[in-house]
Structure 1
Amino acid sequence: MPNPKTTMTFAFWMVVSWVVMCVTHEIGHIIGGFIGGAELTDFDLAPWRLPYSIHQPDPVPRLTLWSGPIFGVVAPLVIASVLRYRWAWLVADFCVLANGSYLALAWVSGDPLLDTPRMLSAGVSPWTIGLYCLVTIAAGYVLFRRDCIRFFESASNASKPDGTDAPPKPSSQIS
């Protein structure tokens, strides 16, 4: 069982990961809309509720819609590759998993305000969305799981006096 400090540190990084995912995903929509010539009429990046951006008119809605999940994955990965810290990879790999999971769950929910139903309405192929979900969820799961294991192992090793993870050697006793 991890100690309370480790648990709180992990919780902190999960909050950071959520904020980074929400903000980069939504900024991706804003950038995509700008590139496609859409007019941004309203947006909210607050991560404690579901961020959104409204473009009206949007001449290239598929570009606007795809830019969110693509930028939401690519930006954190690029930042992590530049910073090269384990915590940056934890955040980036969370973003990979979360973006794919979001599109998959939005598809299942069918809520017309979420990205996947809007993508389908804009003519995006269900196969393309499915492939994106499959790749990001599978890769994100493997990478994020690895990061979590490393996080808790390193925290566990740091709490040992010698900093190693080797089991203690049996003491030689003469009976």
Structure 2
Amino acid sequence: MSRIYQLVFILSLLCGSWLAMMGVHELGHVLGGIFTGGSISRVVLHPLSVSRTDLSINPAPGLVVWAGPLLGVLLPLLFWLVGRVLRVRFVSLLQFFAGFCLIANGAYIAGGSLDGIGDCGVMLQTGTPLWMMWGFGLLTVPAGFWLWHRLGSLQDWWRHPERVSDQSAWLMLLAVAAL
């Protein structure tokens, strides 16, 4: 039964991280739009689609487009650092989430620059050089893996399913359902 709780926990953690990462990324676009005098017309957040923020008025598209991935990595890092300072019990979950956001945003910007997909197309249209997009990925992706590496061995965690309580598995699933 412990293995089932372990699976519920990890699948919920991955799904929750994906949803929360999209939310933090889009929050960056929303705040970028607001602070540059733009007008937000729609934010799309759905678990089965790629998130996006549409602005009806966007006076600074270059700033707005970069606000998503920048806040998308800085805010989770801030959450993790505050969790470390306050010594919260779930700091390892914050560390996992920060690593997830670093990897996802970095891979999106570096990889997306090759085809100009999504935010990367706007970045290229507004004059962002390729080297900057690749540099963002080269900085954030390894940093995310470094945070994950500091959490310990995945193999060791997998060998000890009893480390995940039924309560933590159900709480994680409930948190994802709430998202």
Name the SS of the counterpart of 2:73 in structure 1.
helix
Secondary structure of the 2:59 match is: coil
SS at match of 1:17: helix
Deviation string 1:94-114 (CA, Å, 9 cap, x unpaired) is 111111011123223333xx0
Q: Which has the higher helix share?
A: 2
Q: Do structure 1's residue 141 and structure 2's residue 154 form an aligned pair?
A: no
Match of 2:105 in 1: 99
Task: Give the residue type in structure 2 aligned to 1:75.
Answer: L
Q: Tell me the equivalent position of 1:122.
A: 126
Change in CA separation of 1:157 and 1:42 when aligned onto 2, cut-off 3 Å: closer
Corresponding residue for 2:35?
35
Go from structure 1 to structure 2 and tell me whether the alpha carbon gap of 1:30 and 1:130 turns closer, same or farther (over 3 Å shift): same
Q: Which amino acid aligns with 2:96?
A: L
| Cα distance in structure 1, aligned partners of 2:147 and 2:80 | 13
Larger radius of gyration: 1
Structure 2 distance, partners of 1:130, 1:93, is: 18
Kindly indicate whether the alpha-carbon contact (under 8 Å) linking 2:110 and 2:136 is maintained by their aligned counterparts in 1. Answer: no
TM-score normalised to the size of structure 2? 0.77
Q: TM-score, normalising length from structure 1? A: 0.79
Equivalent residue pairs, number: 156
Residue equivalent to 2:156: 153
**Matches of 1:5 and 1:48 in 2, distance apart?**
24
Q: Is the 8 A contact 2:77 2:98 kept in 1?
A: yes
Indicate the percent of aligned positions where both proteins have the same amino acid.
Answer: 28
**Equivalences for residues 1-175 of structure 1 within 5 A:** 3-84=3-84, 85-111=91-117, 114-147=118-151, 149=153, 153-154=156-157, 156-157=159-160, 159=162
Amino acid of the structure 2 residue aligned with 1:136: T
1:147 CA displacement: 3.0
Contact kept in structure 1, 2:92 and 2:151, CA below 8 Å = yes
Closer, same or farther: CA 152–3 of 1 in aligned 2, 3 Å: farther
Local SS of the residue matching 1:147: coil
Paired AA for residue 156 in structure 2: E
| Ranges in structure 1 where 5+ consecutive residues have no aligned partner | 161-175
Deviation per CA, 1:106-165: give whole Å up to 9, x if none: 223333xx011110001112221111011011211232244362x6535645749xxxxx
Give the number of the structure with larger relative contact order, counting CA–CA contacts within 8 Å between residues 6 or more apart.
2
Q: 2: CA distance between counterparts of 1:4 and 1:148?
A: 21
